[in-house]
Amino acid sequence: MKNILLILTGGTMGMEASSDGRVDSSQFVSEIFHYVPELRKIANIDVSSPYTMDSSDVGVQQWMMLGKLIDDSMDDYDGFVVIHGTDTMSYTACALSYMLFNLPKPVILTGSQRPLAAIRTDARANLIQALELATKDITEVSLFFDNKLYRGNRTKKVSIDEFDAFASPNFPCLAIVGLNIEQRTRHRRPTGLFRLEPRFDERVLALKCFPSFRPKYWESLLDTDVAVVVLEAFGAGNLPMFDGELVSLIERFTQAGKLVVINSQTVEGECDLTLYENGQKALDAGAISAKDMTFEATIVKAMFLLGLYNGNVKRVRHYFHASIAGEISDPGSQSFL
C-alpha cells in the first residue's frame, strides 16, 4: 500500500456538525477515522496539522509552512492530501504549485461545503476520492472537489452553497471521478530536480474597475511601496479612459517602478489588450495583460515572482507571462528558469 500524508489545515470539513465551532485537530483526526474508516483500506495514512484555521485567515506564512512540510516529507510519502477551507483553497493551490518546482508526487487539496460530522456531507466523498487519487501518479498540485480533479492554479471558488463549488474556467479538468477515473487532460511532469522556493513578497494590490469610479482615489498609491498593481478591468481587458486620466495614472505607476497587470472581471477567456483601443492605450502606457490566468493565479504569481527576484520589478515583468506551473495557456517565448 502507498504511504500518504494527510495534512489538516482547517475549514468547514473540521467544523462541528451543528454549530459554527471548530473541532480541535486531535478530535478531527479521530473523527476522520471514525466517519471514514475505509480510508485505511486505500493507503497507509499519517496525519499532520501545521495549523488549523478558517482559510480566510491563511496567507504567505501558512503557504510557506505547508511548502516546507511537504518538502521535508517528500522522501517519506508517495502523495499528499491537504484538507483546506474552500474560501482560499485556490490561492493556496497557486502558492504551492509555484513553490514546489518539479514536483515528483501528487499534492491534492480538498475540503467540503459541509462538516464531516454532518448528515448529507460532501466531506466523505471528497476525502475518499482525493486520497485514492493521491496514490496515483499525478505529479502536480491539484484540487479535488465534487468528483472533479482540477489543476489547482486554474481554479476558483464559484459557489457559496453548491457542492459543485469550484470551476476551472480556462483549463479542462485533469480527471472526472465516476464509476471509473476518467483522465481528461495530461498532467504535468517534472523536468528536473525537485526543490522548494518558499519566497513571497506581499507588496501587491488589486483594484477593481467599475463604471464611473474615480482614478484620482488611486493616486495616493504612488507614495506607497506597492510594487505590483493588478487592475481588474472589463471584458478583454478594457479600462474606462476618463479623458486619459487612468492611462496617465498607469504611466505614472510605471515610471515610479511599479508593474501594472490587467486582469478581467470576466472569468472565462483571455485578456487581450490589443483587441480594443481602450486596452491598447493601457498597454502603451506600460501595463501588461494577465492573459488567461485567474485572478488568484495572477495575485499569487505577482507575490511569488517579487519574492523570487528580491523585489526586482523588471524581472517580475519579464517573467510574468512565463508558465511556472501551467497557470497560463500561452506562455509565449518566455521560459521560466
Q: Which residues bind ligand ASP (CB under 6 A)?
A: 10-12, 54-56, 85-87, 111, 113
Pairing outcome for strands 141-145 and 204-208: unpaired
State the catalytic residue, choosing from 12, 86, 92, 155. 12
CB of residue 86 to ligand ASP, shortest distance in Å:
3
Of residues 111 and 307, the one with the C-beta less far from ligand ASP = 111
- For ligand ASP, the closer of residues 48 and 52 by Cβ is 52
Nearer to ligand ASP, 71 or 87 (CB): 87
Q: Please, what is the minimum distance in Å from the beta carbon of residue 13 to ligand ASP? A: 7
The tally of CA atoms less than 13 A away on the side-chain side of residue 167 is 10
In the complex, the smallest distance separating the C-beta of residue 84 from ligand ASP, rounded to whole angstroms, is: 7
Q: How far is the CB of 113 from ligand ASP (least distance, A)?
A: 6
> Alpha-carbon distance 273 to 13, whole Å?
41
Residue 9 appears among annotated catalytic residues: no
102: three-class secondary structure by DSSP: coil
Q: What share of the chain is helix, strand, coil (3-state, %, to 5)?
A: 35, 20, 45
Nearest to 115 by CA among 210, 13, 247: 13
Radius of gyration of the chain (CA): 21
Q: For the chain, what is the total number of helices (H) and then of strands (E)?
A: 9, 16
Q: Which is closer to ligand ASP, CB of 54 or CB of 78?
A: 54
Chain centre distance of CA 69: 18
Nine cell digits for residue 323: 508558465
The C-alpha cell of 318 is what? 519579464
Task: Give the residue numbers annotated as catalytic, written as ranges.
Answer: 12
